[in-house]
């Protein structure tokens, strides 16, 4: 089985994912890192050169590939959930966990991050509107965890306790 971490940018998926993988002795995989390595470009470079649509194609290729793996913690880019095909690949052998936090916490974490082309230079209202658009996808995940007041280590423990009995399947 795999554990798939989803959630809006800045919610802490990669930090939690690394801790979780360590605790469970699973491999850690980050979809954005895979895309960057495969195309030898950073995420902002891919968006600038090819646009979001092409980035989503690259993302689906990577998701299709890593969803064949087993015993991994997979940290997904925030937009992976938008594609039904991605979700079907990931559900094949995975439990989908959604991490969410208050708007203030997320905006505080991501700030005006040049490494995140979808929010760079955007107003608070525009970021909130993107968060609202994503909600309908996140709410379909198997497990949802509010991480607003939890340190990453406690989030990892909470995921382990919520998935108890399923992790070694
Ligand atoms: C995106 C989230 C980013 C990255 C890309 C698009 C999104 O990943 O995949 O910039 O659409 O929400 P993080 O969620 O790891 O920042």
Per-residue confidence (pLDDT) for residue 169, from 0 to 100: 53
pTM of the model: 0.96
Using CA atoms, how far apart are residues 137 and 33, in angstroms rounded to an integer? 22
93 — phi, psi (to 5°)? -135, 25
Average pLDDT (145-156) is: 98
Pocket test of ligand 1: the residue of 32, 39, 119, 122 to mutate, having most ligand atoms within 8 Å of its CB, is: 32
Q: Give tens-digit pLDDT for 62-109.
A: 999 999 999 999 999 999 999 999 999 999 889 999 999 999 999 999
Residue 23 reports pLDDT greater than 90 = yes
Contact 77 CB / ligand 1 (< 6 Å): yes
Which value, to the nearest 10 degrees, does the dihedral of the CA atoms of residues 155, 85, 66, 127 take? -40
């Amino acid at each position: 089985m795999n554990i798939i971490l989803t959630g809006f940018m800045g919610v802490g998926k990669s930090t939690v994912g690394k801790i979780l993988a360590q605790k469970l002795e699973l491999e850690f995989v980050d979809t954005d890192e895979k895309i960057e390595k495969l195309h030898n470009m950073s995420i902002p470079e891919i968006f600038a050169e090819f646009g979001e649509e092409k980035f989503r194609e690259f993302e689906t290729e990577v998701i299709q590939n890593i969803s064949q793996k087993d015993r991994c913690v997979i940290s997904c880019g925030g937009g992976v959930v938008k594609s039904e095909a991605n979700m079907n690949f990931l559900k094949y052998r995975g439990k989908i966990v959604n991490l969410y936090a208050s708007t203030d916490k997320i905006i505080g974490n991501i700030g005006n991050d040049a490494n995140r082309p979808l929010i760079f230079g955007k107003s608070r209202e525009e970021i909130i509107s993107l968060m609202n658009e994503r909600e309908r996808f996140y709410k379909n995940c198997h497990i949802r965890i509010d991480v607003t007041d939890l340190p990453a280590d406690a989030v990892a423990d909470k995921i382990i306790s919520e998935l108890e009995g399923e992790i070694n399947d």
